[in-house]
Structure 1
Amino acid sequence: MSDRLKEMCKSLRLAYVADIYEKVPFENPSQYLEALFQQEFDLRDTAKGERLIKKARFMNGKELDNFQWGDQVKFPPQINRGDLESLGFISRKENVILTGSPGTG
């Protein structure tokens, strides 16, 4: 890509176009631009997610695979361990609050 095109991409804040423009298959100009801009949107979304996670300053990651399920874990009647692990509450637009003593994660 020429320096002029790189400068134009920078001015338009098309951060990824300069890196990906050669990788997009070309059938016709309209299809090319649509595919190019879609990749720009996708890469921006990915970068935004990473930026927000970094900004949140999570101390360390927690996963259900490593959770120690024991007798001390109590569920309300409308949910059980399988429901929690399947994340079904998300599609039902429900909230989940996990509580515990300080230091339990």
Structure 2
Amino acid sequence: MSAFEIQEEADHAVLRIRGEATIQNASEAFEALKTLYATGERFVLDLQEVSAADVSFLQLICSLHRSCVRTGRSLVLAPQVSEPFVTAMASAGYLRLKGCKFAGSAPCLWQRREER
């Protein structure tokens, strides 16, 4: 089973990530996110089963989000994320009270995530 699995739903595509999302598999993560982007207009990242993450993966997600905002697409995180993913967000400084300038009117993926 791949750590990155795309499932197409009726009105969106879901990328489920299981296991590690770190620099060691960054090229696999990049390819999965690129494939996800090519599937449509609405995307959900399911991070419930992430056992480890680092800033390289967070940067890939930010890049995908900026691409979605720029092209009028939608990217959201599933409501529940794993504790290791929250820890990675916190240690990398990604927990935010307000969105970044790149998000425009779209909500920032990291905004208020600590309030799960």
The question of a shared fold, defined as TM-score above 0.5 by the shorter chain, is answered with no
Q: Which bracket does the TM-score occupy, shorter chain normalised?
A: under 0.3
Structure showing greater Rg: 1
**Greater per-residue strand proportion:** 2
Q: If the length of structure 1 is used for normalisation, what is the TM-score? A: 0.22
Q: Which has the higher contact order (CA 8 A, sep 6+)?
A: 2
Scaled by the length of structure 2, the TM-score of the pair is 0.20
